Structure 1
Amino acid sequence: MDNTIADQRELASTLLDRARVVASGLRERAPEAEERRRVHAESFRAMKQADLFRAYTPARFGGYELHPRYFWRIAAEIAKGCPSSSWVYSVMSCHTFVAALFPEQAQEEVFGADPNAGISGILPDRTSATRTDGGYVLKNSVWPFGSGCHNANWFLLGAQLDGMPPGHDKAFFLVPPEDIEIKDDWYVTGLRATGSNSVSLKQDEYFVPGHRMLKAETALAHKYGTARPLLYRAPFAPLLVISLSAGTTMGAATGALEFYEDLLRTRSARPMVYTDDILKIQLSSTHHILAEATAKLEAARLMTDHAMDLCYEAATDNTRILSTEQRARIRLYGVHAMHQAREVVNILFQDSGGSSLHERSQMQRFHRDINAMSMHEAMHDEIIKEVYGRLRLNQTTTHWLL
């Protein structure tokens, strides 16, 4: 497909319309999905049928190579219906981006038969891999937080390469689902419907062909030339982490804001408890809360767009390589925006009244899910603040996801 700005906008408009239709069904099925502790099968099927998973798939396999500022908006529309489904969509799309950096043979295996292939995985290294003839022997371990594992066509598993020095020893391995065992251990308070179970290999020592391995340093090289399509020349870690979190958090915050305003309007004719004539919609505190939430959310959206634009601009200019500090700053923008969205939900939840505690309430789901997302280590605001501060003051850091 063409990648002009006009073409990307037209495509994004079509995908956003599809996402809104899908989200309405996700909203209805969200309670059942939480009971099952995984994305509802019908919801996952609807996202695939709408071709939403093609967003980060290479164009040569029928994908869209979508601008990341449009990608997060699709995830946001999904999140307004079901944050867990949006999280799985975002996680799998990020892994699609990673898979697009693998050797051509691996890409053919993953995307050749299905451009909408869903990829679950855990990128942090949990075990070791040893080089052998034709590939690697991956030692078995337990990889936790395998979001979307029940719907995956492939798995990405992180490991350390034996015999390699630090900084050169991290790698990602593609494994088909028939060789994966899913643990029944996802019993949580937030993001319940993501099916983020732990996974392990069915063999103690598992052979992975060489073309299904990608070194982390290759993905993080930040110097790709023109051989890769434009999207895949973007700085790996900033684009990946912001794509993971932005859409789901912005969508949850937007959904919470819409819920709060609807709640005010539906209760506008009913006095508050313990009063005869005070309406919540008339309280100055209500007006301040609504205005503060609106401003925080808009600031978060603008910062997210700015971060995504910086990623894409870096991809378009092959003569400029972002410094480690610049990449950390983009990460900082993304994480800060995410926590601003979390603050929006927390402010609104606190003022929504006891009815929002009911499990049938969308507000409590937004509240639980966005706070669960904020606990992901890649979204830890104090860590990325320290990393950026150190780099800005010309100090070193061992943080490698930059």
Structure 2
Amino acid sequence: MSIQTTALRDDYAGLAQPEPGLTPDEIVARAAAFRPLLVEDQANCEERGTYSDAMHERFREAGLYRVLQPKMYGGYEFDLPVFARVIMEIARGCPGTGWGFCLASAHSLNVAGLFTKEGQDIAFGDDGEFAAPARGVPSGTATETDDGWIIDGLWDYCSGSPHSNYAIFGVRLIEKTPSAGPVFGTALVPREQWEMLDNWGDFIGLRASGSNSIRVDKALVPKSLVVRQNLFSIDIDGGTEGYHLHGNPMYSGRMFGFFQTEITSILVGVGFAALDEFERIIKRKLDAPASGPPGLGGGVQDFLRPYGLALGMLEAARNAVLSGAQSYMDYCAAGVVDARLYSEIDDMRIQAGLQHAAKLSGDVIDLLYQAAGTSTSAKNGSRMQRYFRDISMARTNPGLAYERTAAMLAQRTINERIAAV
């Protein structure tokens, strides 16, 4: 049995931001500046299953892990639209890196929202360095003891785990005083108390996402690192622990709109990556001997229509991401005033809209993959093939099951409106 030995501090007063004057535009620009390095290292990232240690350090030094982290704990506490902009830029450089980085860096928001100050003091530590995959499916248990909670289980698809120092898990609570039915909670487990399995990479795409499984073998954590909140059904009535600690409504949100912002931001970034590659193809055509009108290389005219369509479709998708992220912020602000102003159906509507933005980006990749032609798109090692594989893998994620979401949203909306008549 492993034991968490981090000392609890009653006098904790917070951490300083590394760069107090850093602005949203500056941090987005930093993310965009990594694009050439990310593009160049795509194949290596796939081979190793994650982005490099060197890139992790670049992200860390640039402050990218701190975008959503509370100021109290050395973060920049920017809003969700800023985070979405950062993720679109990273994924535009390398889709798998975007996926892994997003699904490790974003979850400082979950910790800031759900855990007590005592728990957050432990999580963000003495330096504010924090990254964690979040797997909300209760694939393990948390057993209550006098000394804390014993966490035990195996969680799959823990994206972003290679560079994380914590992990967030959905758990079934086994309490000292049992409840009438199953009770689900959320556990936060330090890196030294879990094992990352070497079982990622044997998939068609997103091989660089670091979506390894994690095993926890009877790890004892302090009571403050387990909360009686189900990630999939957060109780926001009266505001969460994090809202009352930080005073920011962003830390009192439901989760489906937030989780979908993560996934869709990544995939819209992948769409722009495909467009960048298609533009390189056009430039090569322009350098080829001209066989058509002046200024156009051989066959370039066949590429102009798909390029123009993709430009417009991605602009729509990008705007939808930013609008959906802002809707999440607006609903969080309304919910702390009155939880009835931010219902589960409202959260599902945000999710549904963002799913369609992701679908639009997927349609762009399909369009450009076909238009680029066999030799460019289908050849092993080509970027266009990689983007097609990545979007194919992403489509198997439940977060992109837009038809299932549509059916659930319609049923709940209809039932609610009938009941209101």
Which deviates further from its counterpart, 353-362 or 29-38?
A: 353-362
> How big is the shift at 1:150?
2.0
Letter of the 2:299 partner, please give it. K
Counterpart for residue 267 of structure 1 = 285
Aligned 8 A contact 2:31 2:86 in 1: yes
Q: 1:257 aligns with which of 263, 269, 275?
A: 275
Counterpart for residue 24 of structure 1 = 36
Residue-pair matches, total: 380
CA distance in 1, matches of 2:290, 2:398: 41
Summarize the Cα distance change of 1:278–1:43 in structure 2 as closer, same or farther, 3 Å threshold.
closer
Q: What do the CA deviations read for 1:130-173 (whole angstroms, capped 9, x no partner)?
A: 2221422223x22111222221111112211134456x722111
1:37 partnered with 2:54: no
Counterpart for residue 323 of structure 2 = 306
Aligned 8 A contact 2:84 2:325 in 1: no
> How big is the shift at 1:272?
11
CA distance in 1, matches of 2:263, 2:118: 30
Secondary structure at 1:87 match in 2: helix
Letter of the 1:331 partner, please give it. Q
Misfit runs of 4+, over 4 Å: none
Q: 1:282 aligns with which of 276, 281, 301?
A: 301
Summarize the Cα distance change of 1:368–1:257 in structure 2 as closer, same or farther, 3 Å threshold.
same
> How big is the shift at 1:259?
1.5
| Percent of residue pairs identical | 24
> How big is the shift at 1:224?
4.3
Name stretches of at least 5 consecutive residues in structure 2 with no aligned partner. Answer: 1-19
Q: 2:352 aligns with which of 332, 336, 340?
A: 332
CA distance in 1, matches of 2:385, 2:290: 21
Q: 1:112 aligns with which of 125, 139, 145?
A: 125
Q: 1:188 aligns with which of 198, 203, 211?
A: 203
CA distance in 2, matches of 1:51, 1:75: 13
Summarize the Cα distance change of 1:216–1:350 in structure 2 as closer, same or farther, 3 Å threshold.
farther
Q: What do the CA deviations read for 1:25-45 (whole angstroms, capped 9, x no partner)?
A: 222222111111222111111
Secondary structure at 2:220 match in 1: strand
Residues 3-402 of structure 1: pairs in structure 2 closer than 5 A:
11-100=23-112, 101-139=114-152, 141-162=153-174, 163-164=178-179, 169-186=183-200, 187-201=202-216, 203=217, 205-217=218-230, 220-225=234-239, 227=244, 228-268=246-286, 270=288, 279-283=298-302, 286-317=303-334, 318-320=336-338, 321-353=341-373, 354-394=375-415
Aligned 8 A contact 1:136 1:208 in 2: yes
> How big is the shift at 1:126?
0.3
Summarize the Cα distance change of 1:257–1:265 in structure 2 as closer, same or farther, 3 Å threshold.
same
Summarize the Cα distance change of 1:122–1:94 in structure 2 as closer, same or farther, 3 Å threshold.
same
Q: What do the CA deviations read for 1:235-272 (whole angstroms, capped 9, x no partner)?
A: 22134213321221111101111221221132135479
When normalised by structure 1's length, the TM-score is: 0.87
Aligned 8 A contact 1:300 1:341 in 2: yes
Secondary structure at 1:115 match in 2: coil
C-alpha RMSD over aligned residues: 2.6
Aligned 8 A contact 1:234 1:314 in 2: no
Secondary structure at 1:296 match in 2: helix
> How big is the shift at 1:315?
2.6
> How big is the shift at 1:313?
1.3
CA distance in 1, matches of 2:383, 2:259: 26
Q: What do the CA deviations read for 1:309-355 (whole angstroms, capped 9, x no partner)?
A: 11111233333421222211111011111111111111111111222
CA distance in 1, matches of 2:315, 2:166: 36
> How big is the shift at 1:10?
7.2
Summarize the Cα distance change of 1:9–1:301 in structure 2 as closer, same or farther, 3 Å threshold.
farther
Summarize the Cα distance change of 1:145–1:309 in structure 2 as closer, same or farther, 3 Å threshold.
same
Secondary structure at 1:60 match in 2: coil
Which deviates further from its counterpart, 19-28 or 59-68?
A: 19-28
> How big is the shift at 1:217?
4.4
Letter of the 2:206 partner, please give it. L
Which deviates further from its counterpart, 354-363 or 301-310?
A: 354-363
Letter of the 2:398 partner, please give it. E
Secondary structure at 2:106 match in 1: helix
Summarize the Cα distance change of 1:245–1:55 in structure 2 as closer, same or farther, 3 Å threshold.
same
> How big is the shift at 1:15?
0.4
Name stretches of at least 5 consecutive residues in structure 1 with no aligned partner. Answer: 1-7, 397-402
